[in-house]
Structure 1
């Protein structure tokens, strides 16, 4: 089991061959193991990129995830494309997308008849039902990590307020997710600018004194 300290390690520089090999293995693994759509794959991608191979930091993953949510298209392919591009440019982006979607696409084409026949079987339904709690637990774990970082960065009350406001906007007012993400990105930029400005003024005041 990896510790939280491993999540804070700096990304590793890699040779082209090794980077592409790791990328293919990671994207095939997330594409094949992932079940339940984009949100369920996010913790798997995070584990590969942050914990296992340390291509990026945990904070950068959160920023990438926020930006990816504002763009159209499946979240998993956007993450695969970015990680590949981050590692080895356009070649990496293409390989990342293909490695993520190609194995499952081929499997669906080859096994479609079998899946259609077994989809109504009790055993298959039981297997699918057993997977759902695992997905919930993985998403909950990732949410906890992000919430903990928000608590440390913003403070308890501001982090709690941001969470409540986001819940109201998404679940009660039904504001589109992309708009909520953009609003919070704008708030984060403003918050960072304000904190930097206040600290700069304080340092200047102490220097004058």
Structure 2
């Protein structure tokens, strides 16, 4: 049954992920976290961060990892095919059909009408991740980190993978530091966190 659910989940992502990888991420989250509960929001955010740091299409990387985790090697193949097959077929069929109508107003309007929908989906997912960051780090550190990442991406023009890699390295270095030991008022030693 997991193989069928994997196929359905990632087939829906492949069919409805209009606009490429970023628009697919909320759809993957809806299937994997909300509908089938194969992982928690926090784990999905971690996987998404790592997938963003790696080369290649985000939807395919997510499908491959989640498919393997849920259904082993067969699940990996199943999820990747379910994600990519609709795109390949629709590209061939739609581009052949739409190329003859590309200058008509209804085709241009159809394409422009999808952009706000994708923007709302990404904004909703961003809000969910911001709430998770606030819960994990606290309000002030989360806001500072969000601002720093925004400035690094928008003002400095850094590639998102570089920002993610720096944050992962900082988290790794911060985690491996030994905890400082201090003394409380009673003279007992305690680890500070």
Q: TM-score, normalised by structure 1?
A: 0.82
1:193 deviation in Å?
Answer: 5.5
Any unmatched runs of 5+ in structure 2? none
Q: Which residue of 2 is the match for residue 15 of structure 1?
A: none
**1-structure distance, mates of 2:97, 2:6:** 30
- Change in 2 beyond 3 A, CA 1:171/1:61: same
Task: Indicate the SS of the match to 2:66.
Answer: helix
Where in structure 1 do 4 or more consecutive aligned residues deviate above 6 Å?
198-202
Q: Which residue of 2 is the match for residue 94 of structure 1?
A: 77
**2-structure distance, mates of 1:92, 1:164:** 38
What is the count of residue pairs matched by the alignment?
188
1:173 deviation in Å?
Answer: 1.3
Any unmatched runs of 5+ in structure 1? 1-17
**1-structure distance, mates of 2:10, 2:74:** 14
Q: Which residue of 2 is the match for residue 173 of structure 1?
A: 156
1:199 deviation in Å?
Answer: 9.7
Task: Indicate the SS of the match to 1:165.
Answer: helix
1:56 and 2:18 correspond: no
1:35 and 2:18 correspond: yes
1:26 and 2:9 correspond: yes
Q: Which residue of 2 is the match for residue 84 of structure 1?
A: 67
Q: TM-score, normalised by structure 2?
A: 0.89
Q: Deviations over 1:28-66 (max 9, x none)?
A: 111011111100110000000000111111111000000
Name the Cα RMSD after superposition: 2.3
Structure with higher helix content: 1
